Structure 1
Amino acid sequence: MRAFALALAVLTCFAQPSQAGDRVTLGFGRLFSNDYLGDNHDRWRTGAYVVSWLRGPAGTDTRGEFGEVLEYRFGAAMITPASLTAPAADDRRYAGILSFGLHSHFTRGALELSTGMDLVLTGPQTGISGFQEEMHKLFGATMPDPAVLANQIPDRVMPTAVVEAAHPFALSPSTTLRPFIEAQAGAETFVRIGGDVLIGAGFTQGLVMRDGTTGMLYQGARGQMGTGLSFLLGADVAHVSHSAYLPASDGHELTDMRARARAGVQYRGERFGAFYGLTWLGEEFEAQPTGQVLGSINIQLNF
């Protein structure tokens, strides 16, 4: 709880009012990802949830100047070995992760920029392992062995900075190619390059943010979007130089490149919207025998 209080205190200091005027809520974004929705396993990057609360000047539905549009981001994730009862000696340890962040989304010429800071918490202090035990008990799933949870990545609080720059290219009135480069330092340190093809007004209008686990783009401020179907295709590759979730002291060797590929479809109606996507995640350490597939969902109800 002390780590949680520290996270809130630091983010409150960052979130002082700017000269942009009084801020209002511009929208909320959220994305839930789990491998039960993908390849139906319970391993490695098994589950994640992100919630974004966007604040900015009234009437804004896209990026402005730096500091005008602020995103308050909460994230939760769990990483597990391939077996929760008898993990291989060279498999990764369990990791429960919570994060609290403040980000700004803005433009510089043709570039769409995002930058921010998260406080990333790991270990039993997050309560993630206890939550997973309760969910597995509720749904009759395999219970984690107490020894697996006792050996999880320990309690830490890690400031983590991230910046992304994207350059959208309109291929047609409803299709955008959006290459990007991203850099992060902290809980994991990497440089990533990739791109997305966005088809339909559901992704080419409003303000989108990137999920850290899957790379999926999800919506915050939705702008004046029409109804109908939208599609997303994307891929990226990262060179990871440090990971607190794969400590060198455990004998892990990080893969030279960490790859992801994703596809999603979104429907938006007058009062109902839904998104479903699949993401292939490549191997993250040399002893990991194969990649995995996560499914992601988001449901929107407008009243």
Structure 2
Amino acid sequence: MSRSPKALCSAVTRMAVCGALLSGPLAAQERMTLGIGRMFTNDYMGDGKDRWRTGSYQISVLRGPIWEGSLPARPGSLLEYRLRSEIIAPSELSTPPAGDRRYAGVVSFGLHSHFALGAAEASAGLDLVALGPQTGVGEVHDWLHEQVSAPSVRVVEDEIGNRLVPTLSGELGRSFALGSHAELRPFAEARLGDETLVRIGADLSFGRIEHGALWSRDTVSGHRYVTISGTSEPGASFVLGGDAAYVADSVYLNGGSNDPEPEDSRLRLRAGMQIRSERMGLFYGATWLSEEFEGQPEGQVLGSLRFRMNF
């Protein structure tokens, strides 16, 4: 398999992260917590088959100077502290078929900067991604199955070993208004670390869309979620999106004696709906993921859920 995207990923993410994290401290500006966003994703809310990219939870805390509805021009001014956990599993939790992917418990913590780059919206950062038994994810997964009398998670006995992987990532996008109730946002993304890939895609939002908000992207599903609230009229809004990635490497699929090789390309297609009142909002989205490893018989469908309340 070609590894050529590594150089591109490295160049894009290192330049962006250096600009974001090596910029000096804010002068005469006090940081404050501007917002908290989260996204829960699980295939029980999708195709219901408890396999592969089976579950994840991502939470973001945004800190910076006062938010006025637009990104700062200076990298490092507006920071996102991101915590993420994920369960990756074979298609059977007791006796998986030969050639299936191995179990992986994942926990990561990262620091990301959001800033304007001309007319574009940029984000870049560094995550420390821990995987293996050291995360305790497999133990919690097995315990939860015991509480609901679900099958035992025996595949943790063959879990991918302990690793700590620094991971650089960056995204560049631009929003185009299509009237007052629709918006198209194409984007490009690069990642270098636990998975090395480049990705391009777009999201189309329409309905009672939220203006002046800050959004982050869920790592697994690709759905965007609000991290700093904006303004919108009460009602419903919808999103349709998709992206394509070229994958150079993955620590979850290293092609060893017990691991299948990753597919060179991945596709994601997603749709979602948000209902929002003056004080609260509820979002549900579905995402179709194409096959991620050689020998995977089919794609899968994930469901994503977000609830938020403004005080």
TM-score for both structures, normalised by structure 2:
0.89
One-letter code of the match for 2:44? Y
CA RMSD of aligned residues (A): 1.7
- Select the residue among 118, 127, 142 that pairs with 1:109: 118
Pairing of 1:208-227 with structure 2 (within 5 A): 208-227=215-234
Query: More displaced, 235-244 or 219-228?
Result: 219-228
2:255 matched residue in structure 1: 248
Query: 1:94 maps to what in 2?
Result: 103
Residue-pair matches, total: 289
Q: What's the counterpart of residue 27 of structure 1?
A: 35
The residue matched to 2:48 in structure 1 has which SS? coil
Tell me what 2:294 maps to. Answer: 286
Say which SS state the counterpart of residue 248 (structure 1) adopts: coil
Of 252, 261, 271 in structure 2, the residue corresponding to residue 263 of structure 1 is: 271
CA distance, structure 1, for counterparts of residue 244 and residue 63 of structure 2:
31
Contact 2:112–2:125 (CA<8 Å) still a contact in 1?
yes
Aligned-pair CA distance for 1:201? 4.6
Q: Distance between the aligned counterparts of 2:28 and 2:90, measured in 1?
A: 46
C-alpha distance in structure 2 between counterparts of 1:48 and 1:64, whole Å: 30
Q: Compared with structure 1, are the counterparts of its residues 64 and 15 closer, same or farther at alpha carbon in structure 2 (3 Å cutoff)?
A: closer
Alignment partner of 1:172 is 2:175? no
The verdict on how the C-alpha distance between 1:245 and 1:21 changes in structure 2, with shifts beyond 3 A counting, is same
What are the Cα deviations for residues 101-138 of structure 1, in whole angstroms up to 9, with x where unaligned? 00011111111101010000000111100111111111
The runs of 5 or more residues in structure 2 that have no matched partner are 1-20
Tell me which residue corresponds to 1:161: 168
Mapped partners of 1:208, 1:125: distance in 2: 31
Shift of residue 164 of structure 1?
0.5
Match of 2:145 in 1: 136
Q: Would the aligned equivalents of 1:175 and 1:197 in 2 still touch at CA under 8 Å? A: yes
Distance, in Å, in 1 between the alignment partners of 2:186 and 2:139 is 39
Distance 1:98 1:277 in 2: 23
1:196 and 1:17 mapped to 2: Cα distance? Answer: 33
Helix, strand or coil for the counterpart of 2:98? coil
Letter of the 1:182 partner, please give it: E
Q: Does the Cα contact within 8 Å between 2:36 and 2:61 map onto a contact in 1?
A: yes
Q: How far off its partner does 1:172 sit? A: 1.2
Distance of aligned partners of 1:201 and 1:21 in 2 relative to their CA distance in 1, 3 Å threshold: farther
Moved more, 54-63 or 39-48: 54-63
Pick closer, same or farther for the CA change 1:204–1:176 going to 2, 3 Å: farther
Partner secondary structure for residue 220 of structure 1: strand
